[in-house]
Amino acid sequence: MNGALLRRFTLGLLLLTLCVSEVSPQGFTGCPPCWRDASVMAGHGADPGDTRRLINVRIDSTFGNQTPANVWNATCAGTQTAGCSNVTGPSAIKMWDDVSTYYKLRLVQDSQGSDDATDIQITQDSSWDSKKGCSYSTQTGQRVPDPERPGATLLQISSRVIHLPPGSQNWSQEQLACILGHEMGHVLGLGDVKKGCSTSIMNQNHSGGRGCSTGCPRSQVSNGDVQSVNQQAGNRAGCNKGSKPVSRIVDGGYEDPNPYRYYPTCYYYYEAVDLWYCRWIMSDGTCHPEFPPEYLGTIYVLRDVRCY
Query: In the 8-state DSSP scheme, what is residue 64?
Result: -
Closest contact distance (angstroms) between CB of 111 and Zn ion is 25
Residue closer to Zn ion, measured from CB, 146 or 271:
271
Residue closer to Zn ion, measured from CB, 146 or 304:
304
Closest contact distance (angstroms) between CB of 186 and Zn ion is 6
Residue closer to Zn ion, measured from CB, 31 or 278:
31
DSSP labels, 104-142: EEEE-----STT---SEEEEE-SS--GGGBT-EEEEEEE
Q: Are the C-beta atoms of 173 and 74 separated by less than 8 Å?
A: yes
Residue closer to Zn ion, measured from CB, 119 or 183:
183
**First vs last Cα of the chain: how many Å apart?**
47
Distance CA 202, CA 185 (A): 7
Name the burial class of residue 126, with classes exposed (0-12), middle (13-18) and buried (19+) by CB atoms within 10 angstroms of its CB: exposed
Closest contact distance (angstroms) between CB of 266 and Zn ion is 6
Residue closer to Zn ion, measured from CB, 84 or 134:
134
Closest contact distance (angstroms) between CB of 27 and Zn ion is 23
Q: What CA dihedral angle connects 115, 36, 181 and 82, to 10 degrees?
A: -10
- Among the listed residues 269, 243, 268, 235, the one whose alpha carbon sits nearest the alpha carbon of residue 28: 235
Closest contact distance (angstroms) between CB of 176 and Zn ion is 15
Residue closer to Zn ion, measured from CB, 81 or 220:
220
Q: Which residues bind Zn ion (CB under 5 A)?
A: 192, 304, 306
Name the burial class of residue 158, with classes exposed (0-12), middle (13-18) and buried (19+) by CB atoms within 10 angstroms of its CB: exposed
Closest contact distance (angstroms) between CB of 185 and Zn ion is 8
Closest contact distance (angstroms) between CB of 274 and Zn ion is 26
Query: Which stretches of 146-200 are assigned E, i.e. beta strand?
Result: 153-164
Q: How many helices (H) and strands (E) does the chain have?
A: 4, 10
Residue closer to Zn ion, measured from CB, 103 or 268:
268
